[in-house]
Amino acid sequence: MSGGDAFREWHGRAACRGPQMVVFYPPDTGEQRDERRWREAQAKAICEQCAVVGRCLEFAVARRETHGIWGGTSETERRVLIGR
Ligand code: SF4
């Protein structure tokens, strides 16, 4: 299975697919700190219900993904995990 096939396999089971994806990334218009906190909490609550949370977090850490909520973590939390 290629990397792209593997991604499609687990991402096809992602709980964030669909309109709820909007809370996983900051809006283009920017956001206040409390809005960000609320948005990230909404996204993390979806991650908690997701069947592929472990695969997602591994993927985001391996790619050093710098934007959005992945595997129940924010950019800042992943930076701590990676140690940078
Ligand atoms: S863990 Fe969160 S970001 Fe990752 S696929 Fe599931 S719902 Fe989406």
Domain ranges of the chain: 3-24+32-82
Whole-Å CA distances, 41 to 21, 53, 62, 69: 13, 15, 23, 10
From the CA of 14, give the closest atom in ligand 1: 5
Question: Which of 70, 75, 77 maximizes ligand 1 atoms within 8 Å of its Cβ, making it the mutation to test the pocket?
Answer: 70
pLDDT at 2 over 90: no
Q: How far is the CA of 34 from the centre of ligand 1 (A)?
A: 22
Q: What pTM value is reported for the model?
A: 0.91
**What pLDDT score does 1 carry?**
64
How far is Cα 60 from Cα 73, in angstroms, rounded to an integer?
9
Q: What is the pLDDT of residues 30-81, one digit of tens each?
A: 999 999 999 999 999 999 999 999 999 999 999 999 999 999 999 999 999 9
**What pLDDT score does 49 carry?**
97
